[in-house]
Structure 1
Amino acid sequence: MRKIVILGAGYAGLRAMKELHKEAGLQITLINRDLYHYEATELHTVAAGTKAPADIIFDLESSIPEGVDFRSGTVNKIDVETQCVYLEDENIPIAYDYLIVALGFESEDFGIKGAAQYALPLANLADAFAIRTHLEQRLARFNDSRDENDLSIVVCGAGITGIELVGELVYRMPEWVAQHKLPADKIRITCLDAMPAILPMFDAELSRYAIAHLADRGVSFQTSSAIDEVTATGVRSGERVFPAHTIIWTTGVRGSHVVANSGFAQKRNRVAVEPSLSLKGHPEVFFIGDVSAVADPGSGHVYPTTAQISVAQATHAALNLKAQIAGKPMTDFTFKSRGTVCSLGPLLGIAQIGADGSMKLEGRKVAAIKKLINDTEILEVSSIGNMISHAD
């Protein structure tokens, strides 16, 4: 029996397990810190309170097939020379013949002064719930404090995560205003980004639609605004200060810190792998998802970290692992996008569908597409039962 160890039960880890578990002669161990899987693409909905945590999670037990050994634990280190994985608070390492590293992402603050201390990251379920709790407490406090900074929100980062979060916030804000009897004209939502354009990955017309929709609801966009410092009362960009008591950090992500702790050559905890997705010099080790840096053979650019790409990498890594066992050559990873979607709250969005993005959509019809994408992602990594249980 060949020992296969999979680290992480996000989109990539669960998909790899699903692809491998029916293969004869494999002893599969899945290791994850939590007892549940959460839809990382839906964290912004929990942060804004439009969904509860239970709406975007399912127990791992319901997704792990018979014959797969699940272990709840925190990975501390990987040693590819001895082919062992070390867990925190456990003295006995876990040996493997083949390893799939799918440990996911962490928030990246780029060393900006005060960001780690004062900004609220959005990188996992606990982060999302902490944002919701903090925001609701600040809004509720205004009637006693009369401090307008309690009504001010700064979202750092205008990528898809930041824009989707802003969309949820403007959708939810009327409910908060009515609940706490807040002065609606005093609410401030500011979105800062160092880049000169908002949502440049979309067609310009779609980007304009998204910006106009959010700006009409009071969102202030500040582009070409690199963040220099975060404090307890605001964000500084050059000579400008944007005051707020709620500062949310969506500027970027990096791979798991376990990558650097294990001594791998990396950049932002992402390992540059071979086209087969295996580690150079160690074909028995695969890095997929947010901890891998894979170059698009067409453009030479590293693929972004998305759930869609993570699932595709997991499928390919599993095929290459099986090819190795069978004594067959591995193949290079290639990727064709199914498209890109950005929600603007639960009812609206923008989308470019297809590998060439030729189908361009905006408005309410995109909400249905977003739901279909979420359902498909659950089905790709779990079961139809979990997909149905997460239907709205």
Structure 2
Amino acid sequence: MAKKVVVLGAGYAGLVAALELNKLTTAQEVEIILVNKHEYHQLITQLHEPASGAKKDEDIMISINSILGNKKIKFVKDTVEAIDKEAKEVTLGHGKLSYDYLIVALGSDTEFFGIPGLKEYSFTMKSVNQANRIREHIETCFVRYKSEKKDNLLTFVVGGAGFSGIELVGELADKLPELAAKHGVPASAVKILNVEAAPMILPGFDEDLVKFAKESLEARGVKFVIGCPVVQVEPGKVHLKTGDVIETETMIWTGGVRGVQQVIDAGFETEPRGRAKVDEYMRAIGHEDVWIIGDSCFVLSPEGRPYPPTAQIATQMGENAAVNLYATMKHIKKEEFKPVLLGAIASLGRKHAIGKLGSKMKSTGWLAYRVKDASKYRYLAKIGALLK
């Protein structure tokens, strides 16, 4: 009798896990059920583009059914409410699913670090719908400025200077002057601020690449407030630890991730920010039938640092989980998760990027941007999808 494998989440990790398991097994061996709350797969690493209005949301959405085609994967559009690991059952918004093996790839929630008002009065950017809300809000700010002439309407604050924050301010630096021209607003009235608690932007990149990024963005009007935590947000105001107050109608928070509540509530072993601890085979600690992958889990590198929540890491986790689930079924040797890090590239707008490729090669400017673009198409080829 075929084993039932339920995969929760069709982001980078979950989708790749389902597709890899489909390749490894026959229909007689497994029944694969993929659950996702949307009927589309989102290219989360590109969210800064629709958020700024640089691209349409459909440019980063791919129909899950078009990816699955006639593969032996059943797609269920539903929300995951709860996981009962003892009963081996998942409660959905519209029913329940039992499983023999479970792969949890539910992504992450935003970490607000207990900062008063931050959750209530800031935008987040973790889905196409949230990116759309940011874009619509920005457009509204320009429309309102024409009649109200309030400086805070054209002051845009991005909290966090990791990948997401820097890529967003890069897109805003390119797009907002266009919006100013469109609405007959002086470009000099537009202010873009990037606020970061850490002493530098883009942790993990070499100092020379960070310097290039900072200078490129500053040349296009971005102002950095570094080493200065946000301590409170209220309507129209962002309070900094220095005592300074930024008056703004737009606070976009990209400052961190934490584990999803479904994993925490299920009783899996987690670290302080709610991400699940896993063994060397990506299985939940103490559970040989549950794999937790992607942003939902916490994995330390050989150097003792957590792997960053990137698409590159997530897809390799998906592959590893599929291989080890198959190995568990077949009682053959499992493979330890040892990701191959191909480098990292951060875009700085439409024409610039910085990249570290492998251990030694570095790239800046237009060339790095093209490399980032190419990596997107490699991923699309991997999942058998092409953007229309």
Q: Same fold (TM over 0.5)?
A: yes
- The aligned amino acid for 1:372 is A
Structure 2 counterpart SS, 1:62: helix
The answer to whether residue 117 in structure 2 is matched with residue 114 in structure 1 is: yes
Structure 2 counterpart SS, 1:283: coil
| Cross-structure match for 1:320 | 324
- The aligned amino acid for 1:370 is K
Deviation at 1:186, TM superposition (A): 1.7
| Cross-structure match for 1:243 | 247
Q: 1:232 aligns with which of 223, 232, 235?
A: 235
The answer to whether residue 19 in structure 2 is matched with residue 15 in structure 1 is: no
The answer to whether residue 238 in structure 2 is matched with residue 207 in structure 1 is: no
| Cross-structure match for 1:28 | 32
Tell me the distance in 1 between the aligned counterparts of 2:378 and 2:263. 29
| Cross-structure match for 1:270 | 275
The answer to whether residue 18 in structure 2 is matched with residue 41 in structure 1 is: no
Tell me the distance in 2 between the aligned counterparts of 1:199 and 1:84. 40
| Cross-structure match for 2:161 | 158
Deviation at 1:264, TM superposition (A): 2.2
**How do 1:33-182 and structure 2 match up within 5 A?**
33-64=37-68, 65-90=70-95, 93-182=96-185
Tell me the distance in 1 between the aligned counterparts of 2:101 and 2:363. 43
- Structure 2 stretches lacking a partner, 5+ long: none
| Cross-structure match for 1:255 | 259
1:309-364 deviation per Cα after TM superposition (whole angstroms, max 9, x unaligned) = 0000111111111111111132211112100000011211110001x1x1111011
Tell me the distance in 1 between the aligned counterparts of 2:72 and 2:341. 33
Superposed CA RMSD in Å reads: 1.1
Tell me the distance in 2 between the aligned counterparts of 1:212 and 1:14. 37
1:84-125 deviation per Cα after TM superposition (whole angstroms, max 9, x unaligned) = 1111242xx211111100011222212211111110011111
The answer to whether residue 191 in structure 2 is matched with residue 191 in structure 1 is: no
- Structure 1 stretches lacking a partner, 5+ long: none
Which consecutive segments of 4 or more residues in structure 1 shift more than 6 A?
Answer: none
User: What number of residue pairs does the alignment pair up?
Assistant: 381
| Cross-structure match for 1:3 | 4
Judge which range, 326-335 or 310-319, deviates more. 326-335
Deviation at 1:266, TM superposition (A): 1.8
Structure 1 residues 256, 378: closer, same or farther in 2, change over 3 A? farther
Structure 1 counterpart SS, 2:351: coil
The answer to whether residue 313 in structure 2 is matched with residue 309 in structure 1 is: yes
Structure 1 counterpart SS, 2:337: coil
Structure 1 counterpart SS, 2:252: strand
Deviation at 1:21, TM superposition (A): 1.1
Tell me the distance in 2 between the aligned counterparts of 1:144 and 1:78. 51
1:193-218 deviation per Cα after TM superposition (whole angstroms, max 9, x unaligned) = 00001123111111111101111111
Structure 2 counterpart SS, 1:347: coil
Tell me the distance in 1 between the aligned counterparts of 2:380 and 2:256. 24
**Identity across matched positions, percent:** 37
| Cross-structure match for 1:364 | 366
Structure 1 counterpart SS, 2:230: coil
